[in-house]
Amino acid sequence: MSQQLNLTVIYPGAARDCLLTHGELDEASLDTCFRHGAVWLQTSGKPRRLYDPQRPVKPGHKIHLYCNEFTLQTCPLQPQLVEDHTSFSVWNKPAGMYSQGSKWGDHWTLSRWIALNHWPDRECFITHRLDRYTRGLMIVAHDAACNRSLHTAFANREINKTYRAIVRGVVEGEPRTVSLEIDQRAAVTRIIPVQCDRQHDLSLVELRPETGRKHQLRVHLAAIGHPVLNDRLHGQPPHDGDLQLQASGLEFDHPVSGKRLQLKLAERQLLAFESE
């Protein structure tokens, strides 16, 4: 089932009523589309997600609806709250959860999951992103000023990020730095060996990116012959399970107090070799 509807409002009323008049969805499915971020309202400029089905609309406004099986499906994933600092919070995002939604909905994103399931009265901003299948620490801002401050800190490389990965092959010895351009832009990653599993020809490494290019860690590890395990985009088969890449640590100045924060996942949460 897939339905796309783009209509221009002729008569004033509630957005939900307009869609019921022109669309083919039943009331329950339509309400789910609103709740899951698949309805957009364009009053001027770019369309924006519309969550309130009773939002008054006027003649000339445009409403866009995008609904498919994904839109109507409830997100089964459960992120874990790591720390709450009121103006922002830090979460352990599971593999499979998105950082940013699509036109078909945003209910599988961390920020919208928080709004739907944890703090319905708090604003939730997309402060930074992790790839869908990368698990680990993510910051979510809860007011616009804090969100701007954190965006600036990320852009200026003032937030130090640490990752862990299980990669193919044996990686041991001294730490090494990989400097390899991505999309003709400088990209630098520090790789620190942690542990080897020679029986399965795998290694656990810690990663400290000095730049922030798209898929940087995965590209750099693949380039040196040690792709991340189960990396279906840059790695090599066989693939069996989730991408073995995790954002394990964040270090930055608190955007309000200025206090230096060092956030790490608990030992039991860290990516590690599975016990036999």
Give pLDDT tens digits for 101-122: 999 999 999 999 999 999 999 9
Phi, psi for 177 (deg, rounded to 5): -115, 125
Quickly count: other Cβ atoms within 10 Å of residue 133's Cβ. 18
The tens digit of pLDDT for each residue in 25-37 reads 999 999 999 999 9
Tokens 């103006």, residue?
A: 87
Question: What's the rounded Cα separation, in Å, for the pair 157 and 153?
Answer: 6
Cis status, amide bond into 238, omega within 30 of 0? yes
For the chain, give every domain's residue range.
2-72, 80-156, 160-248
Domains 2-72 and 80-156 share a fold: no
State the CATH class of domain 80-156.
alpha beta
Looking at residue 276, what is its pLDDT? 58
Residues with Cβ within 8 Å of 45's Cβ and at least 6 positions away in sequence, in order, are none
CATH number 3.30.2350.10 is the correct assignment for the domain at 160-248 = yes
Looking at residue 111, what is its pLDDT? 97
Residues with Cβ within 8 Å of 167's Cβ and at least 6 positions away in sequence, in order, are 202, 203, 204, 205, 221, 226, 227, 228, 229, 244
Q: Which residues of the chain are modeled with pLDDT < 50? A: none
The tens digit of pLDDT for each residue in 219-232 reads 999 999 999 999 99
Instruction: Assign domain 2-72 to its CATH architecture.
Output: Roll (3.10)
Helix axes 15-22, 27-35, angle to 10 degrees: 130
Question: What's the rounded Cα separation, in Å, for the pair 78 and 271?
Answer: 17
Q: How far is CA 274 from CA 236, 244, 270, 271, in A?
A: 20, 11, 11, 9
Beta strands in the chain (DSSP E): 2-8, 13-14, 39-42, 48-49, 56-57, 62-68, 80-84, 88-93, 125-126, 135-141, 160-168, 176-179, 188-197, 202-209, 245-253, 260-264
